Each structure stands twice: as C-alpha cells, then as structure tokens.
A = this chain, B = another copy of it.
Amino acid sequence: MSGLFTIALDAMGGDHGPGVVVPAAVGALGKYPDIELVLVGDESMLSAEIARHPVQPSERLRIHHASQVVGMDEPPAQALRNKKDSSMRVAINLVKDGKAHACVSAGNTGALMATARYVLKTLPGIDRPAISTAIPSIHGHTHMLDLGANVDCTAEHLFQFAVMGSVLVSAVDNNPSPKVGLLNIGQEEIKGSDQIKEAARLLEASNLNYIGFVEGDDIFCGDVDVVVCDGFVGNVSLKTSEGVARMVSHFIRAEFKRNLFSRFAALFAMPVLGNFKKRIDPRLYNGASLLGLQGIVIKSHGGADAFSFENAIRIARLEVEKNIAQRIDKQLEQLLTEREAS
C-alpha cells in the first residue's frame, strides 16, 4: 500500500455498480489527495467505465479483477458459499490481507455483514458487529446503532454497541466524551424490556458518558450523540425517519404547485428551501459503518448515486485515519478490565 489510505471499492455492488462507483471514485480521488482506490470487479467493465472519465488507471486508481457479483437479494449464506470470487468478497479479502485499509460496498447488507464477519472476524470482546450511521439532528448529527444487523440483543450486546458508538463518535467528531443514550419508551410501568434495564445498569457502571434513556424524538433534538438500540428497533426508526422526510418533501412540493400564487411564491421560497434540504440531504449521510470487525467496512445505500457513494468513501477514509477498529478494541478491553476489577 503506497498511498496513505488505500480503500477497496466493491465496484459491482449496489443497484448501479460501476456506473456509480467509478465516477464516485474519480470524484473522491480529486478531493482526497491522501487516498488510493482499488476498484474490485469485472476488469473489462471497469476499464470501459473508467474510459468514460478523464482519468487513467494508475497507482491511485487500480482495478482488481473479480469474476462474480453478489445479487442484491441473494441470501447471505448462499453468497458466502458460492461467491468466493465476488467483488464484495474480494474487496473484503483485500482488507484482510492488509492490501487495503478499508472497503466500501453498496451491495446487499446481509451478505456484506455475513462476509465481513466471516473473513475479518469480530474484535475480541465483541459478540456481534453492529451497523451505525449518522442521522441529522437539530444541532448537527446523532449516531445510532444497531440499524439492522441484530434483531434480538442481550444487555451485553447493547453495552458493546454503546462502546463502539462512543468510540466512533469520539474519534470522527473529535468529541472527547460523547453522550450515550439507550433508546426506550416513555411509559413508566412498562419502561423497557429486561435487556434494556440490564444494559442501563452496565452503562451506569461504566466510564462511558451514559445519559440514560432517550425516546424516539430525542434522536433529532441534538442532546444525545450516540443512540443505542437493537437492530429491529433501529431499522424501523431509521426507515420511519426516511419516510417522514419523504412525505414532508412531497407535501411541500404539492403545496407550492397548488395554484398561481403558490407557484409564484415558490420562486422565492425554493432557494431558501434548497438550503434546508441540504441540511437533511440523505446523500450527505450515506455510508454506514459495520462496527466491531477486525477491519473497516462501510456500507453504502444500494441505490446511492455517485455523490452519495463518494460520501461513503469519505467516511471510510476518515475511519482509517482515526483508526476506528483498534480504538474500539482498546476501549472495550479497558472497560471490561475495569468491570472485572470492580
């Protein structure tokens, strides 16, 4: 690895494959002089796609051939068994073999998680990797995990997610003491399942900056940095927020098209609303971290465009720079040692 940060890209993954990954790679190379990218996938397709851009394959933009592609709906077990030369698997292998510092894939989440876990293994002390992403909030953003890798979680799993999220945020946001909240519901009598109550006890006893239970609306208020939950709840909450945002956009567009006055008003309002949209543009948040692995793996949205995918590359670069995997390892070891000592 000659550049500072080498990132392997699953160039065939996602809904659009090389048509999105290659222009994103070209864009990222322009922005980040300290990265080099390895496009993993069908050599001829990738060469053809590169030829459409004003770049040449080079040390900074290499092609690494892989003969197979994991389907977007392919069951993870099947991908793991039958797709040993898939662009996804080979990209992860490059991380395993020390030939890349991180990889990015827009391929199917289940297969990516299963393959990454199989190839890279989890960090010592981590039972299950989790998926984390930043979500816009009033004062910036909030990280949330798990977003769908683990349906049922024990208290210990939730505790591990909290550690991973806290380490991630402290590193990427330069936040020395991220506020960690456990996602719960408000009603006293049924407050939380047994797992959540036990996770709260573990977190209270740790040296994490645990602020207690938070509710669904707190994710967006900016008073918590890391929101911890099981993957079912996290996934529903994330998709709910996407659904609301889409509905709001739909209604705003519809209202401004309603009549002559509103169409006129739109001339003035649209530049302002454009600024607003930039604040919650999901493309700026594209790139979820698969945390808890012995290596950095970033999942891009399957339908990501080049601008979005470039953001996922940015996140991969940042996590390499900040040494996320090792930091989690170290922090967890320290917390578990403290817990045993107390």
Contact = CB atoms under 8 A, between A and B. Distances in A.
Interface of A: 73, 75-77, 108-110, 114, 136-138, 148-152, 183, 185-190, 192-193, 215-221, 229, 231-233, 235-248, 250-252, 255-256, 258, 261-262, 264-269, 271-273, 275-276, 279-280
B185 A280 contact: no
Given A151-B190, A216-B242, A220-B243, A185 B236 contact: yes
Contacts of A235: 185-187, 215-216
Contacts of A138: 247, 250-251
Contact of A236 (B183, B243, B248): B183
A280 B255 CA distance: 12
B193 A151 contact: yes
B243 A148 contact: no
A302 to B, nearest CB: 10
A90 to B, nearest CB: 21
B237 A255 contact: no
Given A186-B239, A237-B237, 13 more contacts: A75-B189, A148-B185, A185-B239, A216-B237, A233-B233, A233-B236, A236-B236, A236-B237, A241-B243, A244-B248, A252-B273, A265-B268, A265-B272
Given A183-B236, A240-B219, A268-B268, A188 B76 contact: yes
Contacts of A245: 244, 248
A239 B217 contact: yes
